[in-house]
Chain A
């Protein structure tokens, strides 16, 4: 089955630093990638949708300058949390799909900001 690799799986860093999370589709070309945020015991909240080669579409309430998304190729999208603060601590999950498949999810990144 389709595989999506997300890296790193866990990050602990100091407040004020920027953190980059990578999402790769390993065996298919992802025309669209999604980034979600999940708080403990809650559902996934879509942050943004990105298509290869174009700007990401952010959901209402998600700061574009805070959460930078780059979808440089059909197999890689990155999410950079800039100047992270403790309130940005969360579980971030990416997913990817091509036109024929349902979304395939990475294993998530647990971000902890001290």
Chain B
């Protein structure tokens, strides 16, 4: 069954605005990762947050993790047209030892100039 589920499925904002995407998961995890995918390209790793962390920052990105609610959010501040992409959360397979990840369905972000 799908582990990660993002919402919204699609988000359209103006340049300069903030974009917030949410991810929910079902099983216990030791970390959660966010990836970006530009159209027709591979995925780029953005940030990893461990289960004992509640918030993590990387540049204009802010990720939160609430293990009690089994949810995470990705905030992109002061968005730019170049941020237009699909964003996926990913969690390790339950019991997986090889780093296998389960990806959510993704949020398609469109930032209009």
Contacts and interface: CB of A to CB of B under 8 A. Distances in A.
A98 B106 CA distance: 25
Contacts of A43: 88, 103-106
Interface string A32-62: 1010000001111010010100000100000
A32 B50 CA distance: 21
Contacts of A6: 42
Contacts of B98: 32, 49, 51, 57
A41 B40 CA distance: 10
A108 B40 contact: yes
Contacts of A106: 42
A33 B87 CA distance: 22
Q: How large is the interface on B (under 10, 10 to 19, 20 to 34, 35 or more residues)?
A: 20 to 34
Chain A interface helix/strand/loop/mixed = strand
A46 B100 CA distance: 8
Contacts of B40: 91, 108, 110
20 contacts: A6-B42, A34-B101, A41-B108, A42-B105, A43-B104, A44-B88, A46-B100, A46-B101, A51-B98, A57-B98, A91-B40, A97-B99, A103-B43, A103-B101, A105-B42, A105-B43, A105-B45, A106-B42, A108-B40, A110-B40
